[in-house]
Amino acid sequence: MAYSIDELARMDSIIKRYPRSRSAIMPLLHYVQSLAGYVNNEGIELIAQLLSLEAAEVSAVASFYTQYKRTPVGEYHVGVCTNTLCAVMGGDAIFAGLKEHLGVENDGVTSDGKVSLEHIECNAACDYAPVVMANWEFYDNQTVQSAKDLVDSMRTANPIPPTRGPDTLVTWKEASAVLAGINDGKAHEGIQAGAPTLLGLKISKEEKR
Amino acid sequence: MKLVPVLSAHWDEKDSFTIQAYTRHDGYKASQKALAMEPDALIQLVKDSGLRGRGGAGFPTGMKWGFIPQGDNKEHYLVVNADESEPGTCKDTPLMMANPHVLIEGCIIAAHAIRAKTAFIYIRGELTHVVRRVNQAIEDAYKAGHLGKGIEIILHVGAGAYICGEETALLDSLEGFRGQPRLRPPFPAIAGLYGMPTVVNNVESIASVPAIVLHGAEWYQSMGTEKSKGTTMYSLSGHVKNPGQFEAPLGITLRELLELAGGVREGHRLKFWTPGGSSTPIFTDAHLDIPLDYEGVAAAGSMLGTKALQIFDETTSIIRAVLRWTEFYKHESCGKCTPCREGTWWLVQILRDLDAGVGTEEDLNKLLDICDNIAGRSFCALADGAVAPIISSLKYFRQEYLDQLANKGPLFDPDESTLFAPAKVGA
């Protein structure tokens, strides 16, 4: 895959963010993932070239972090939290339900390439357990059925929007670009906080009355 | 008044994350005031406030700033640890979602205090919308002239590694390497990012600074307990009627917090809980009245940690809970230190058997023996965290392990623990 002038300029601007170029490895990996859908060999080699490193050094970094995928994932990558709290609250049942519903195992991708599935660790939303993530956007307080509905909506190309996120669910590639630090102009979309986030504040205001 | 919203005071306004909303509530007034102060006076102010690190360790924030050598003609760096990943912890994420500007203003003040020109915010990568909000807030702060006149902020997004929440692993990650902890000393204050003096602070710690600058150390001191000052976010999750975030002065008890959260879910009773994430030894219903401050929790044999109160009721198998946490530590061990890398693997093997009701009482001793060979024998605290659930569960629930072995299988039905389990009739 050849990279366009614009893409190369973008990568150059990512490198220029940092006092030392090697620090740009992680956003560059997110960026090549946003182009190919995963971290492909061409991406690794280009990053190595841009940062004057060996491909093996870039590859060693890529393989350390679970978000960098070395094989293609779905257009919508679904993560079910099965760390203790979410697992107990229903994450285990949701994960089992989705595996069966989609006919894939952990790290599997549906044959239409639409949905991939992974069990994930705690995603910092425990007051909304059980939590499902899609392209790292929040789907709070899920049930087995709501999670099935969610993946069905992805496969019919009209994904249910996140609970706390933008108005529409962006694709895996688009989300990867956001993680590379590229502003997609959607920061103002969605709610500022869900009800559990505001619960203490609400009670304190009622106390004052 | 049990709850005192400071950080969370305006989160219920629809546009709370915008620079307009933040400015409406005195936003960027504190940084204006701070930039006119001598850096040393700022450090003293934060020391006087009694603010302590909200990321888990509780180290006094002002003292940490004071460790940065002054007049050394080196670049200094501020690094914000926004890699919120400790199981149960969910306070920085909603903060950055609802009010990213308070973090940015805190960075400006802290950077000025430690004489740094550059601050990094390291956000974990599994938070697309939080990254959007913080990125936009940084852009808007530049446009408004709060950034770019002597202080720069660089947003750095992680890629899925719990270990990068450990400060030296975070620095390695930020330098473009695998995130693996460094041997200390030297501490980051002497040789941190790029070998330069560096302060690494948690999101909530930095976000607490603007209010301290605006209202003074005395005001902050007036809240909390003797050695744990100010307000903090307590996060209740799990088997409570209404989970959520509760901002209160340090020292509130779980009994008080549970009351605010509507109690343990209907028809059930508290079995065990974590005071500050999975790396803090568990507590039981015997610990409801412990003051949740740094000293109170430590005196009872655990740690305040991130104030992540994960509540589990009597339907929950302690063995299943501990197994999951142990699988997490095994997965997240960076592999640098042998005791942690190999030890967590063996812990999982034994716990999987125990969860299935396979094994003997001797396996419980073996678990403790392995724990003894992991804790304190690795570079970083992940190893200590990994053994905390095991040792504390055996302290309080050894009989349940034995009962499960006698039963030769699980004692609990996982379906009864779920959020969507049918309500218990007549209980």
**DSSP per-residue codes, B195-244:** GS-EEEEEHHHHHTHHHHHHH-HHHHHTSB-SSSBSEEEEEEEESBSS-E
For residues B67-75, give the mean pLDDT. 94
pLDDT surpassing 90 at residue A208: no
pLDDT at B422: 79
pLDDT digits (tens, 9 = 90+) for B129-154: 999 999 999 999 999 999 999 999 99
Dist CA A87 CA A123 (whole Å): 12
B38 burial (CB, 10 Å; 0-12 / 13-18 / 19+) is exposed
Q: What is the pLDDT of residues B190-237, one digit of tens each?
A: 999 999 999 999 999 999 999 999 999 999 999 999 999 999 999 999
Q: What is the pLDDT of residue B281?
A: 98
Q: Which residues of chain B from 350 to 379 reach within 8 Å of chain A, CB to CB?
A: none
Q: Is A64 on the interface with B (CB under 8 A)?
A: yes
Chain B residue numbers touching A15 (CB-CB < 8 A) = none
Find the angle CA(B359)-CA(B365)-CA(B370) to the nearest 5 degrees: 105
Using one digit for the tens of pLDDT, what is the confidence trace for B404-421? 999 999 999 999 999 998
Residue B70: band (very low, low, confident or very high) from pLDDT cuts 50, 70, 90: confident
Rounded to two decimals, the pTM is 0.97
Give me the CATH number covering residue A33.
1.10.10
Strands (E), B7-139: 77-82, 118-123
Does a structural domain hold residue A200?
A: no
Residue B27 pLDDT > 50 = yes
pLDDT of B115 > 90? The answer is yes
A-chain residues within 8 Å CB-CB of B1? 204, 207-208
Q: Is there a single domain that holds both residue A135 and residue A103?
A: yes
- Tell me: do A45 and A84 sit in the same domain: no
- Flag whether pLDDT at B1 surpasses 80: no
Whether residues B176 and A25 touch (CB distance < 8 A) is answered with yes
* Confidence tier at B427 by pLDDT (50, 70, 90): very low
**Same domain (yes/no): A51, A80:** no
Provide the pLDDT for residue A1.
61
Instruction: Please say if the pLDDT value at position B425 is more than 60.
Output: no
Set out the domains of chain B in order of their start, with CATH numbers: 19-221 (3.40.50.11540), 231-313 (3.10.20.600), 318-411 (1.20.1440.230)
Q: What are the tens digits of pLDDT across the range A145-172?
A: 999 999 999 999 899 999 999 999 999 9
What average pLDDT score do residues A46-66 get? 98
User: What is the span of the domain harbouring residue A9?
Assistant: 5-64
| Spatial contact of A85 and A122, defined as CB atoms under 8 Å apart | yes
Q: How many domains does chain A have?
A: 2
* A43 shares its domain with A103: no
User: Within the 87-146 window of chain A, which residues sit less than 8 Å (CB to CB) from chain B?
Assistant: 87-90, 92-93, 120-130, 133, 135-138, 141, 143-144
Residue A199 lies in a domain: no
Tell me, yes or no, if B308 comes closer than 8 A to chain A by beta carbon. yes
B157–A165: do the CB atoms touch at under 8 Å? no
In angstroms, the CA A89 to CA B163 distance is 25
> Could you tell me if residue A140 is inside a domain?
yes
A97 plus A118 within the same structural domain = yes
A52 and A96 in a single domain? The answer is no
Same domain (yes/no): A91, A155: yes
Q: Mean pLDDT, chain A, as a whole number? A: 97
Mean pLDDT for all residues in chain B: 97
Spell out which residues of chain B touch residue A28, defining contact as CB-CB under 8 Å. none
State whether B418 and A64 contact (CB < 8 Å).
no
* Cα distance between residue B229 and residue B219, in whole Å: 10
Chain A residues in contact with B131 (beta carbon < 8 A): 178-179, 181
